[in-house]
Amino acid sequence: MAVLTRNDIAGRIMVALDYANAEQAEGLLKQLEGIPCYMKVGMQLFYAAGPGFVASLKDRGYKVFLDVKMHDIPNTVKGGAESVTRLGVDVFNVHAAGGKHMMSAAMEGVDKAMAPGAQRPIVIGVTQLTSTSQQVLNAEIGLPGSVEQAVIRYARLALDAGLQGVVASPLEVTQIKAACGDAFVTVTPGIRPAGADVGDQTRVMTPAEAFAQKTDYVVIGRPITGAADPRAAIESIIDSIV
């Protein structure tokens, strides 16, 4: 990481804007003004603040990961992918559990919506949610094997469908890159700076440890958004990686 500048590192940190409305999110944006981090908009904020809020992030120069985890019949996902591509998001995701046809339909939606000269969004697959235990995987969802096996199977399926990467735990990055290649993008939540409150995340790594696994992006929410001084929190995370 030594060759990366502080701004390069900021661009690989996706701040999870897990807020109930645009006004609350604006409070954090004000505190982080000038730091070129990625902004992750999940379903809570997107359902409340809508495409207009995402467009305003793009107008202010932010890169945006729209974390809405599409999962529906292929034709509907294709339409969803078209809409978010037109919105200009940089990354969005679909559930790998929707199958190869559904994921490739998302890619068709992107193709259809691409404006000439525009930057293509990176489409990533959700493998197995990090909240899924072995018991839930086997007894409730009905998939045999370990969570790790399910993650790798979904990652390969996402690659086969033409997706560029997956969301996964930082503990799975090495295996995913071995199965799908180094260029296959990994986006990893479950990140906690040394000494931070783990909260409801169970399998965590520090930002420096996650980048040492060669992850491409880290998703960090509460250690920044819940800090008394969010700007100091992200600056200290960047310091821990430079």
Active site amino acids: 69
- Considering beta carbons, is residue 113 or 233 the nearer one to ligand C5P? 233
CB of 4 to ligand C5P, least distance (A): 22
b (16+ CB within 10 A) / e for 219-234: bbbbbbbebeebbebb
CB of 144 to ligand C5P, least distance (A): 21
- Considering beta carbons, is residue 82 or 211 the nearer one to ligand C5P? 211
Angle CA(217)–CA(237)–CA(125) in degrees, nearest 5?
Answer: 15
- Considering beta carbons, is residue 47 or 111 the nearer one to ligand C5P? 47
Strand-strand pairing, 185-188 and 165-167: parallel
CB of 147 to ligand C5P, least distance (A): 11
Q: Which residue in 227, 200, 224 sits closest to 37, CA to CA?
A: 224
User: 104 with 96: CB under 8 angstroms?
Assistant: no
Positions touching ligand C5P (CB under 6 A) are 16, 18, 42, 129-130, 167, 189-190, 199, 201, 219-222
Tokens 């995913």 correspond to what residue?
176
Quick one: tokens of 224?
A: 């920044």
- Considering beta carbons, is residue 186 or 201 the nearer one to ligand C5P? 201
CB of 79 to ligand C5P, least distance (A): 23
